[in-house]
Structure 1
Amino acid sequence: MPIHLIWGDDYEACNRETEKIIQTVIEPSWKSFNYSQIDGNDPKQNFRALEEVQSAPLGSGGRVVLVRRSPFCNGCSIELANKLEQAIKLIPDNTHLILYNSNKPDKRLKTTKLIEKNIKSNPFSQEKSFILPLPWDINGQRNLVKSILHQLNLKMNYETIDLIVESIGNDSSLINAELQKLSLFSETIDKKLNTNEPREISKELVKKLIQNNSTNALEIANFLLKEERIIALNKIQSLLQNGEPALRLITTLTGQSRGWLWVHLLDSQGNQDVKEIAKFAGIANPKRIYVIRKQIQGKSLESLLTLMKKLLKIEAAIKSGINPIDSFKDNLLTESKILTNN
C-alpha cells in the first residue's frame, strides 16, 4: 500500500517526480488500464480515488492513482477522512496512491497523521517537497540549478551557475528547458564516449544560447523605463516571432523591474550596502546595483510600481491563454504614460 505525498509550489519538479513514479511503477503497454488521474477539487472524484486504489493492477506492472490538488492533508470532510482510514488498509502492495497539493500538509489533521504513519512504516511510501526559492534567495536559486543539473547528469562551475540564476531566476520550468537545450547543443559539439560521466556546460555556451536572449529582454526593459513603448513592443514582437518563449521574456522583464523597485526603495531608506541590496533584490552580482542606480535616476517609486503592475498583468494574461503579443499591447498601451519622472 505505497503512498506518495508530494507537495510544493515548484510545479515542474512535482510533475517530474510524479512522472518518474508512473514510469517506474506502470508497465507502458498496460497504462490505459492501470493509471487514473483524479481532480481533488471534486469531492466525488476523491471518493472514486479511494475506491480505485483498492483495485489490483491488470496485466503486468503496477497501478497508479494520482490525486492532483489532493485535500487529504489540507482539509477534507469527516466522511472522506473515514473513507481514507478504511481504504488505506486495503490498498494492494503494487497499487500506488500519489497525493499532490501545492500547499504544505497540515500536521494537525487526522488524515495527515494517518498518511505519515503509512510513509514511515512502508519502505515504498515517501513524502517529497519541492519549494521554489524566493526571488531574493540567491543561494536557494543556485541550489535549484544544481538540483536540475544533477537530474540531467550535467555540471557547471559556480560562475556559470550564477549566470543561469541571473538570466532566468527561480523559474524551475525554464531552467529545466534551457539546461536540456544546452545539453543537446553541448553533445553535438563535444561527444563523450562515457555517457555516465556528467557533461560540463561552459560559461561561453550559456552566454551564447541563453544570455543573448536575456540581454535583448533587458534592452526592452530599458526602453519601457524610458517610456519608449512602441520601440519596446516592436522588439517584443520580433523576439516572440523568432521563438523566444513568452513566459521567459516576461520573467526577465519582471525580474528587472523588481530589481529597480528594490534598489529604489532601499536607496530611499538610506541603505548603501550593495551586497545587502543585491540580496534583497534577488541580484546575483552586487556590481549590477551601480548600473541599476544609474538606470533609475530621476524615476519615482510610483512610476516603477506602475510598470511592475503592468508586467504582472501581462504575465497573468499569458498564463490564462491570451495571445502573448496581444497581452503586451493591451497592457502597455492602455494609458498615455506608463512612467513619470520626479
Structure 2
Amino acid sequence: MTALVQKVLDPAWGSFNLQRLDGQQGDGATLALTTVRMAPFGGGGRLVHVANSPFCERCPPELLAALTTTLPHIPPNCHLLLTSVNKPDGRLKSTKLLQKAATVKPFPRPAVWDSRGQRQMVQRATKAAGVTMEPAAEAALAEAVGSDSGRLAGELEKLDLYSDGKRITTAAVAALVGTTSQTSLQVGEALLHNHVPTALHLLDELLRTNEPALRIQASLVSQVRGWLWVALMTAAGEKDAQTIAKAAGLGNPKRVYVLQRQVQGCRPQRLQQLLTALLELEWALKQGTPPRQAFREHLLPLAQGRQGR
C-alpha cells in the first residue's frame, strides 16, 4: 500500500487524491466507484482504497452493475485498490470481471497467534516504506496490529509523519497506535472459560477504540473454529498433529499442542454453541444492530449455565 501511494500520488496533492473507504460500512463501495472516475486534483494520480471489499464476497446485483459500468471508464491516472482478508469467491460474476480487468495479488498474512510472523510483517512493511524503527517499537507495533496488514500500512503512515522522517520510537507507537489486536484473542479465551462479563468488558474497550465490530467477530470465529476442530479430532482419538492441523487449517502443526492445552476439559458441544452464537452475531451486525447491543444479546446467554465446560 505504501509503495503504491508513493508511486501514484504527488506528495503535494496527496491529501486530495487519496481516499480510504470501508466496503462494509454504509455506501463505501458505491462511493469508491464514483470517486475513482473523477480526475485527480493537481499533479500525480488518484488512489481510492476500499478495505473490506465486498466485490468478491457478497456483491449484490446493483453493485455488480455499478462495477461493470465503472471499470471501462476509470481514467489512466486513477487507481482502484480493493483489499479483503478473505479469499475471492471465484464463482461470482464480479470476481470473474475483476480477474479480467485488474491485477490480483495475494498477500499471505501471519496467523493471529504467530507473533514472530507478525514481527516479520512489520519489518517488511517498514523496509518497503523506507522508514526505520527501534526494535522495541517494531515489537510494540506488531503486537498492536497483529495480522492486519491494512491497519499496519495506515499506522506506519501516521508514525512516519509524527516522527518527521526520523527513527520511529516506542514512545511514538504508544502515543499513536491504539489497543492491541491481542485483546480480541483475550476475548476468545475469556469466552472459552465462560468468563462472559470479562469478555464483554474487553469488547467494550475494543469498541471504544473504534475497532470494527465485524473484524472482532471474524477474529473470534477463526479462533473458536480452530479450537473446535482440535477438540473434535482429539475426542475422536486422532493423535497425529499434522492430520489435525490440516483439518483445522493450521499452517504450523506445533500449534495443535497449544490449542489442545487450551481446550483441555472443554466439551466440543460448548465450542459448537459458541461458534453458533458468533455466526448469529455476524448476522445481527450486518442487519444493523448496534455492536454493543449485538455482543450482549448473543454472548450473555452463554453465561446462563447451559453451555458449561
- Report the TM range for the smaller structure's normalisation: 0.5 to 0.7
Check 1:23–1:67 CA distance in 2 against 1; reply closer, same or farther (3 A cut).
closer
Task: Find out whether 1:97 has 2:70 as its counterpart.
Answer: no
| Aligned equivalent of 1:294, options 247, 253, 261 | 261
Letter aligned with residue 326 of structure 1: Q
Aligned to 1:325: 292
Give the distance between the partners of 1:269 and 1:162, measured in 2 at CA.
Answer: 40
Aligned to 1:133: 109
Check 1:312–1:226 CA distance in 2 against 1; reply closer, same or farther (3 A cut).
same
Q: Per-residue deviation at 1:329?
A: 0.1
Structure scoring higher RCO (CA < 8 A, sep ≥ 6) equals 1
Say which SS state the counterpart of residue 148 (structure 1) adopts. Answer: helix
Give the distance between the partners of 2:34 and 2:179, measured in 1 at CA.
Answer: 45
Letter aligned with residue 61 of structure 1: G
Task: Find out whether 1:226 has 2:193 as its counterpart.
Answer: yes
Contact 2:242/2:253, CA 8 A, preserved across alignment? no
Aligned to 1:153: 131
C-alpha RMSD of the superposition:
6.0
Give the distance between the partners of 1:67 and 1:163, measured in 2 at CA.
Answer: 22
Task: Find out whether 1:170 has 2:128 as its counterpart.
Answer: no
Larger Rg: 1
Give the distance between the partners of 2:156 and 2:306, measured in 1 at CA.
Answer: 35
Aligned to 2:10: 24
Give the distance between the partners of 2:151 and 2:203, measured in 1 at CA.
Answer: 18
- The TM-score normalised by the length of structure 2 is 0.55
Give the distance between the partners of 2:97 and 2:274, measured in 1 at CA.
Answer: 46
Give the distance between the partners of 1:325 and 1:110, measured in 2 at CA.
Answer: 37
For 1:177-216, list aligned pairs within 5 A. Answer: 195=166, 214=182
Check 1:97–1:315 CA distance in 2 against 1; reply closer, same or farther (3 A cut).
same
Say which SS state the counterpart of residue 78 (structure 2) adopts. Answer: strand
Give the distance between the partners of 2:124 and 2:161, measured in 1 at CA.
Answer: 18
Flag structure 2 segments of 5+ consecutive residues without an equivalent: 22-26
| Aligned equivalent of 1:270, options 238, 241, 255 | 238
Say which SS state the counterpart of residue 79 (structure 2) adopts. Answer: strand
Give percent identity, aligned residues only.
20
Give the distance between the partners of 2:195 and 2:307, measured in 1 at CA.
Answer: 10
Contact 2:49/2:81, CA 8 A, preserved across alignment? yes
Q: For residues 213-264 of structure 1, give each alpha carbon's deviation from its aligned partner in whole angstroms, at most 9, with x where no partner exists.
A: 73x6555433322333234334544x34874836575565445423322422
Q: Per-residue deviation at 1:328?
A: 1.3
- The TM-score normalised by the length of structure 1 is 0.51
Letter aligned with residue 239 of structure 2: N
Q: Per-residue deviation at 1:64?
A: 4.0
Contact 1:306/1:338, CA 8 A, preserved across alignment? no
Contact 1:227/1:338, CA 8 A, preserved across alignment? no
Contact 2:185/2:220, CA 8 A, preserved across alignment? yes
Say which SS state the counterpart of residue 307 (structure 2) adopts. Answer: coil
- Matched positions, count: 275
